[in-house]
Chains A and B, each alone.
Chain A
Amino acid sequence: MSDNATVLIVDDEKPITDAYAQWLEDEYQVRTAYSGSEALEKLDEDVNVVLLDRRMPDLSGEDVLDEIHEQKLTCRVALVSAVEPDFDILELGFDAYLEKPVSDPDELLETVEKLLRRSTYDAQMREFLSLANKKAALETKKSSEELEASDEYVELTEQLAELRAELSDTATELDDEDLRAEFQAPGSDRGDADSDDAGRDDAEE
């Protein structure tokens, strides 16, 4: 995944943005934005990780974060700020916190790497749940003879088995801290309005 992962760096201080970009461009597709509004222009589903400055004129990092949630984008966000994290920011719904100035390229790379692992896990998990939902919906509606004859069903089962193996590999890479973070705010800051029943309703269609 990290081969073609895309990182968006957002900071109104150009030298900082460019320095981060230089550190990361060997490993990832890098996009840069020098303001909050430019960040919104460069945000789309292809972006996996956003490094987001908190304090910016015009649109602040928090505004951009709100917009990310609004658009239900699944990217992981590292908030970068000179202000020490306080309880008030816990509700903002970001995934990692970097204290400014970040002077160590490895620290930045590690953070991005960690967020990518989590985002990969999350993406695979969504896919797995969605396939499991679909399969369950079919099983609920059809007889076992109908299921056996259904290509869709057979294919679903195969896909699920494959994805399950991949997920297992991904999960091996995650430590307890990563998982704790992934469990922290399920549904609230992610694009998964399908957290509960909605997901299964989708599958029925």
Chain B
Amino acid sequence: MNIDTSDKRRLEQSSNVLLLAPLTPTGNRTCLELLASTTPPGEANVAAVTYTPPPETWISDWKAHIDELPAELAFIHANTVDTEDEETSGIPPGVSVSRVDPNQPMDIIAPLSERLTRWKGNGNRTLVSVQTLTILLEYVDFDTAFRYLHILTHRVQAADAIGFYHMDPDIHDEETINTLKSLFDAVVEVSDDGESWSVTETYGDQSATSEHAQSHDTDVSVPDSETGLVASIRDSLSGVLSGPSDSQPSEVAAEGATAESDDSDAGDSDEEPSPDSGVEGLPEEAMLTDEDRIRELLTQYGGRMKQADVTEETDWSKSTVSRKLSKMEEKGLITRVQVGRGNLVFLSGYEPETAKSPFEQGGTD
């Protein structure tokens, strides 16, 4: 996605930007790209407030879409779900992660403020990413969320940083979104396909709105032209690393490696990167049960997605999806939460705590 200079300036001049984008991998990608468009990664301090997908996922998404990690990176992970030890292995050294209670706004704001203060004067531009308000609104009531966001935006502004706050506009009613807009300097609206978008200044001239329709194909922001080269070298390297040691069938390098290719130096110690895609040439998808498929989709979406997106991704009918999800919910594999105008589906372990019934909260976990 290309971002033209006038919009870029508009974003750079804002302290706090509300990002209305679908809760999909595409939407997520757009969020990261917009963040990166304001500042080259090598000159950026990024503090990310994450709710559902863990920092590890954020990092691998960033690597996939932007490449070079920010000069400074810190996470405030607002999720009380215990993460297994193996997950921390995805955190590069020098990246800090604070795990906090999502129900306590100040538990999120205090460590964030501390981080912003520490970065002050280090010569980089500071960016704050909050993903996503859609989940935040599940944890606290609207009034609290509004106050929390006010303090958050205030602190971001005081630190001369730029904050990007994601929200899925389809999930919340228009009035809720419009009310929240008052807290932000600018609103970016991204279309469902992530290809066109517009910037509006909340307190500025309404006519300053600009519309765009641009393709994702052009690479974002990252100014050094090496990127392409580096990336292709790394790709070929990872192809070598992930391939079987004795021979090098080209098919594996081309297909099987895509998912694993980001960690070029992790390839050796890891388990075999499962290129067992189908025992007898069967495509991998055919081997999956429907439930596996839904779980895979959920993982791909970062642990939560709209039920409507499940329908869209699978081409199953609404009622089929609903039936399958009900079954999975009975088995405790997923949780569905009614949010605004639709259902959000959470992979078990990713659901907001408040979504759990009092029963489960008291139970052993």
CB atoms of B174 and A183 under 8 A apart = no
A147 (CB) vs chain B CBs: closest residue = B206
Known contacts: A136-B181, A148-B206. The answer to whether A183 contacts B141 by CB under 8 A is no
B110 (CB) vs chain A CBs: closest residue = A176
Task: Specify which chain A residues have a CB less than 8 angstroms from the CB of B9 in the assembled complex.
Answer: none
Task: Specify which chain B residues have a CB less than 8 angstroms from the CB of A186 in the assembled complex.
Answer: 141, 143-144, 147
Within 8 A of B (CB), among A128-148: 128-129, 131-133, 135-137, 139-140, 144, 148
Query: Cα distance A161–B180 when bound, in Å?
Result: 14
Residue in contact with B179 in the complex, picked from A136, A161, A168, A180, CB distance below 8 Å? A136
Scoring B residues 348 to 359 as 1 if CB is less than 8 Å from chain A, else 0, what string do you get? Answer: 000000000000
Residue in contact with A125 in the complex, picked from B141, B150, B158, B181, CB distance below 8 Å? B150
Scoring B residues 183 to 195 as 1 if CB is less than 8 Å from chain A, else 0, what string do you get? Answer: 1000000000000
Within 8 A of A (CB), among B100-158: 104-106, 109-110, 113, 141-144, 146-148, 150-151, 154, 157-158
Query: Cα distance A67–B178 when bound, in Å?
Result: 36
A108: Cβ under 8 A from any B Cβ: no
Task: Specify which chain B residues have a CB less than 8 angstroms from the CB of A182 in the assembled complex.
Answer: 147
Query: Cα distance A171–B109 when bound, in Å?
Result: 13
CB atoms of B141 and A196 under 8 A apart = yes
Query: Distance (Å) between the CB of B258 and the closest chain A CB?
Result: 43
Q: Give the size of the chain A interface in residues (CB under 8 angstroms).
A: 35
Task: Specify which chain A residues have a CB less than 8 angstroms from the CB of B316 in the assembled complex.
Answer: none
CB atoms of A196 and B143 under 8 A apart = yes
Task: Specify which chain B residues have a CB less than 8 angstroms from the CB of A187 in the assembled complex.
Answer: 141, 143-144
Residue in contact with B143 in the complex, picked from A144, A180, A192, CB distance below 8 Å? A192
A109: Cβ under 8 A from any B Cβ: no
B209 (CB) vs chain A CBs: closest residue = A144
Query: Distance (Å) between the CB of B169 and the closest chain A CB?
Result: 13
CB atoms of A183 and B104 under 8 A apart = yes
Query: Distance (Å) between the CB of B117 and the closest chain A CB?
Result: 12
Query: Distance (Å) between the CB of A133 and the closest chain B CB?
Result: 5
Residue in contact with A179 in the complex, picked from B151, B158, B182, CB distance below 8 Å? B151
CB atoms of B157 and A164 under 8 A apart = no
B4: Cβ under 8 A from any A Cβ: no
A187 (CB) vs chain B CBs: closest residue = B143
Residue in contact with A136 in the complex, picked from B141, B154, B178, CB distance below 8 Å? B178
CB atoms of A133 and B179 under 8 A apart = yes
Task: Specify which chain B residues have a CB less than 8 angstroms from the CB of A71 in the assembled complex.
Answer: none
Scoring A residues 25 to 55 as 1 if CB is less than 8 Å from chain B, else 0, what string do you get? Answer: 0000000000000000000000000000000
Known contacts: A125-B150, A161-B203, A168-B154. The answer to whether A195 contacts B143 by CB under 8 A is yes
A16: Cβ under 8 A from any B Cβ: no
Residue in contact with B178 in the complex, picked from A140, A144, A161, A179, CB distance below 8 Å? A140
Known contacts: A136-B175, A164-B182. The answer to whether A129 contacts B148 by CB under 8 A is no
Task: Specify which chain B residues have a CB less than 8 angstroms from the CB of A168 in the assembled complex.
Answer: 154, 157
A199: Cβ under 8 A from any B Cβ: yes
CB atoms of B144 and A183 under 8 A apart = yes
Query: Distance (Å) between the CB of A142 and the closest chain B CB?
Result: 11
Residue in contact with B106 in the complex, picked from A129, A157, A171, A179, CB distance below 8 Å? A179
Query: Distance (Å) between the CB of B317 and the closest chain A CB?
Result: 32
Task: Specify which chain A residues have a CB less than 8 angstroms from the CB of B142 in the assembled complex.
Answer: 195-197, 199
CB atoms of B105 and A140 under 8 A apart = no
Known contacts: A140-B175, A140-B178, A144-B206. The answer to whether A183 contacts B147 by CB under 8 A is yes
CB atoms of B110 and A140 under 8 A apart = no
Within 8 A of A (CB), among B76-105: 104-105
A144 (CB) vs chain B CBs: closest residue = B206
CB atoms of A135 and B182 under 8 A apart = yes
Task: Specify which chain A residues have a CB less than 8 angstroms from the CB of B105 in the assembled complex.
Answer: 179, 183
Query: Cα distance A161–B185 when bound, in Å?
Result: 10
Query: Cα distance A196–B150 when bound, in Å?
Result: 16
A96: Cβ under 8 A from any B Cβ: no
Query: Cα distance A205–B215 when bound, in Å?
Result: 43
A174 (CB) vs chain B CBs: closest residue = B151
Task: Specify which chain B residues have a CB less than 8 angstroms from the CB of A197 in the assembled complex.
Answer: 142
CB atoms of B203 and A135 under 8 A apart = no
Within 8 A of B (CB), among A178-205: 179-180, 182-183, 186-187, 192, 194-197, 199-200
Residue in contact with A200 in the complex, picked from B144, B150, B175, CB distance below 8 Å? B175
CB atoms of B143 and A179 under 8 A apart = no
A102: Cβ under 8 A from any B Cβ: no
CB atoms of B106 and A180 under 8 A apart = yes
CB atoms of B143 and A129 under 8 A apart = yes
A135 (CB) vs chain B CBs: closest residue = B182
18 contacts between A and B (CB under 8 A): A129-B146, A132-B183, A135-B182, A136-B178, A136-B181, A140-B175, A164-B203, A176-B106, A179-B109, A180-B106, A183-B105, A186-B141, A186-B144, A187-B143, A192-B143, A194-B143, A195-B142, A200-B176
The 4 closest A-B pairs by CB, nearest first: A136-B178, A132-B182, A195-B143, A136-B179
